[in-house]
A and B are shown apart, each in its own frame.
Chain A
Amino acid sequence: MLKNKPILNVETLTKTVRTNEQELKLLCPTTFAIYPKETVAIIGASGSGKSTLLGLLAGLDSPSSGEIWLNNHALHKMNEDQRAQVRANDVGFVYQSFMLIDSLTAIENIMLPLELAAHKEAKNLADNWIDLVGLSHRPDHFPNQLSGGEQQRVAIARAFACQPKLLFADEPTGNLDETNSQLIEDLLFQLNEENDTTLVIVTHDNQLAEKCDRIFKMQAGVITETTAEVKTKN
């Protein structure tokens, strides 16, 4: 793969929190880079710091020290609103618990990021995306009227609707049965390829991780690239 300028560049990133007069290191100094169109998996056990790292990479949280460059934006120097702006333009999300808005219909959930970005064609684009994820027959259903797999498809459509450059997926198949997991994984990779998106998946499913170009492993706040090791083992 052509190694051009990274879309996500992390330099000696750390995160510490204070609890009861004690400093707790959630993330040890971390440096790595992710390049456009790559698919990257971050694996690790519960409590290893995966969610902390994801929060920082997506600009949901601010680091204690170090630098994060996302598509040439210095996230570490930005305030919350500026980071939100970066997310609106360049980032998409898919979560384990789908995180759909319960009181909006499927189509309205897909329209949401487009509306926030004041996109004039929000409705048409959303119609197109719901079609792409195979739910054009259920646009007006509320999340609780959809199955888990269907909800995740709506979430994927919503994540791709604004054509992000970087897509973060936090355990995207964690709440799904095997069949649905397979469907969702396929959809995610297919749309990622079609839209030239960079995909960062946080998971503890090694099989899912293997489908990615690169694999990072988190252990007690320390990240190491283990692509070769994991792939060889399996």
Chain B
Amino acid sequence: MLFNLSYRLLKHELKRNELTIMLIAIILAVASVYSLSSFSQKMQDAINVKSSEFLAADGVLSSGKPINERLMPPTELGLQTADQIRFSSMVFFNDEMMLATVKAVDNAYPLKGTIFTQLDPFGHNVKTNVKLSPGEVWLSAKFFQTLSVALGDSVEIGDAIFKVTAILGSTPDQGFSPFTTGAQVLIHIDDVPSTQVIQPGSRIHYRSSFTGSPEKMTQYEEWLLPQLSDDLHRWKTINDESTPVGNSIKKASRYFLIASLISVLLAAAAVGVAATQYAERHFDMVAIFKTIGATKKQIIEVFTLHLSLLILVGVSVGLGVGYIIEWGVFEFIKAKLPVELQIQTISYKALYLAAFTGITCAGAFSIVPMLKLFNASPLRVIRRDMLSVSSYTILAYIVSVLSIFMLMYLFSQSLMISSILFVGSLAAVALLLAMARFGIWLSRKASKDRHSALKLAIARLYVNARSSSLQLISLTIAVQLFLLVLVLRGDLIGQWQNQLKEGTPNYFIVNVPHHQKTVFETSFSENNIEVTDLYPIIRGRLIAVNNEVLFDEVSKEKPKKADENRRESIGRELNLTTHQQIPYMNTLVEGEWWTKSTTDSQVSIEEKLAKRMKIKLGDELKFMITGSEINVKVTSIRKVKWESMTPNFFMIFSDDVLADFNASYIASFHLPTDRAADLNQLMMQFPTSSLIDINQILAQMKQIAGQASMAIEFIFVLVLIAGVLVIQAQIQASMATRKQEVMVLRILGASSHFISRSIAFEFMFLGALAGLLAAITMEIILAGVQILVFKMQWSPHFEFIILSPIACALILGIFGQLACSRVLLRSVKTQASTL
């Protein structure tokens, strides 16, 4: 019986547009969360597909020993696998030899990405789908140059003979390592035993690659990780920040998350505003119900059912609208996307998340207004000004606020991100409440002698100080969150563009001998190729810190009891270099960089290594370099971006330290791809040097950054729409309470022009104040998000302090004016009908 009553009420109210604001708020919440999470999920899947090409798989397990069968994925997971063995060996041809990095692959390789071959050495890269057969070898261009080998010749690797069938351009998982000593060679894995290169003690690298659906991969990863040994195994996926795109992906997905969270917050704010209005609209109805004899239980039943049905309608329509938005955006950007996206499929995860968000937002924000509604006094039927109070208001507020936090946490799975946004917004609310009251009070004083429309506008704000403050807060939060998304978007895209700007070095040349350094520099400059960075490289071992000799863990002797606290050595030789300035993409964490003319033997050490080795500023380090010992003092500690496409070093010395040593050099330069053929000629002069072509990696990174930027733009537009709707909901809500006032003013003879100007002034003033407060509070949250979440540097955006209030004043003024003209029109009609 009561269900019928609730249903009838809802049906009529919907038809009579009495629930439009609440309904739009719920639809907005659900639609934006659905389209955002579904879009970002699909976009991220697409980006992952692209990025997985860097690994030639979705996950790679590597080890110095053959990988045990028991670590292989169970067959029911249905993952595809590919095995690979890597080792260094000499390639012999006609009594000449050259060191090679051999990659022995099976028929499944590569699981992701493509192998590129060249028609001529150092020529254009061409995609190939041909599989390497046993007995064949693909050699990189360098072999053809150094050994004068030709296609069809036979070369020896270990004890086996191979026929050269292709010039290897690049493999998807070759990565970027300028310090790899040999050029790349590809053979079939079945040929490894016949080479006889695997002997006890030889350095062999085993890799098993896997690919499958993200869920199955996660399942496998969860099963695998606990079984791995830190010393023996390494597990790598595309999400590792150490891969060239890992960092961009992480940042993009964090941005997606924050933007989605912000849209949830905005939607919640819109629902909050609407729910209060929903309750106010029903106060009289509840009072009438009560006079007729409805008990509180019946009231709760009728209105809970009513609200639940409304939420159900909102959530269903919201999901539909969300799907249409997503579809529309995909249609619009389809042509620009470099990869295929699964547009048609419905993302069930997004569906559940959106529905859950809609229900929680509407539910949580309705608690306080609904409690007040249930307690509406029946006396309202006699005395209309009766206010409703609820004894559980504070508790209900806490529940509402905590539900939103819970939703944010569920959404982000990150306590830090949710806390920054949540605490930031709460602090902003408290600050705003105080500032808003003060601001409105101050303006009231200042406006005393001003123009009458302005005076009326401020008087209205002053009289309704409480509701005006709430209005101001919700507007400020909406603008603040929008600004946050705007700034983060600019910073992220800017950073990517900067990382991949035109002229980024696309070639590296390694092993330029000391005696050829001058020839190298002149011949490159004669060919109009600008060499951007030239680093001397010399290998050396760290042997003591502050005269304390490092303990070598590979030493056969067991350490004595007293030695157990001794520092361990790094365990291998390091590539050492000198540099006058701090290298690009490195940042100083402690200490100072040396001056050019320094002569007191300084070293700058990488942050993590310093931590591991317990090395501090001022420590004396002793290195063994080609049989000589050198002493240097630590004067700075650096943070290194290992994922950057530049040579990175653990130790960088001041120029004087390596002056007496014969180093080889590593350099990078940019060369347009159509000039690639020139390189072959140029490289002939440097037979011992190798060229590393990273065009392929750069192109892939650009594609990924482009895609991520597009996704970010889309999310930005959605957040913009969400923000505008919050403002609209707020204006609508305040207009509803204004009808009466407009009527009275009209009857007293105020012109429409006067009324609409005074309302526009009111909204402009509110907008300017909200814009200013938003710009200030946004900076506080921004600092937290950039420093703690994105690990980026924070710098203030002073321009928003001026731009934001102006823009908000204009937007709100226009919105207010439009809404006002509708109310005016209605008031004219009402007047006419009363007469």
Question: Which A residues have a C-beta under 8 Å from some C-beta of B?
Answer: 51, 54-55, 58, 60-61, 80-81, 84-89, 91, 93, 95, 99-105, 108, 112-113, 115-118, 122, 142, 158, 162, 170
Contact = CB atoms under 8 A, between A and B. Distances in A.
Contact of B9 (A54, A85, A103, A116): A103
Nearest to B14: A103
Given A85-B293, A88-B294, A101 B288 contact: yes
Given A99-B288, A103-B13, A118-B1, A55 B293 contact: no
Nearest to B381: A99
Contacts of B2: 115-116
A78 to B, nearest CB: 12
A60 B297 contact: no
Contacts of A89: 293
Contacts of B285: 101, 103
Nearest to A89: B293
Nearest to B833: A144
Given A108-B8, A142-B12, A55 B292 contact: no
Contacts of B12: 103-105, 142
A101 B302 CA distance: 14
B207 interface: no
Contacts of B381: 60, 93, 95, 99
B296 A113 contact: no
A55 B289 CA distance: 15
A93 B379 contact: no
Contact of B382 (A60, A113, A117): A60
Nearest to B16: A103
B18 interface: yes
B379 A88 contact: no
Contacts of A80: 290, 296
23 contacts: A54-B382, A55-B379, A55-B382, A60-B377, A60-B378, A60-B381, A80-B296, A84-B294, A87-B292, A87-B293, A93-B381, A101-B9, A103-B18, A104-B9, A105-B12, A112-B292, A113-B292, A115-B1, A115-B2, A115-B5, A116-B292, A122-B1, A162-B293
Nearest to B383: A51
Interface residues on B, range: 20 to 34
Contacts of B290: 60, 80, 84
B379 A116 contact: no
A116 B289 contact: yes
B8 A60 contact: no
Contact of B293 (A91, A105, A108): A91
Contacts, number: 87
B69 to A, nearest CB: 71
A229 B289 CA distance: 38
A88 B378 contact: no
Contacts of B289: 112, 116
A101 B298 CA distance: 16
Contacts of A99: 284, 288, 291, 381
Contacts of A105: 12
A53 to B, nearest CB: 10
Interface string B291-317: 111111110000000000000000000
A172 B9 CA distance: 26
Nearest to B292: A113
Contacts of A60: 290-291, 377-379, 381-382
Interface in B345-398: 377-379, 381-383
Nearest to A119: B1
Contacts of A102: 16
A54 B291 CA distance: 12
A142 B12 CA distance: 10
A87 B296 contact: no
A178 B209 CA distance: 93
A26 B285 CA distance: 27
Nearest to B293: A88
B297 A93 contact: no
Nearest to A164: B293
Most chain A beta-carbon neighbours within 10 Å: one of B1, B16, B293: B293
A105 to B, nearest CB: 8
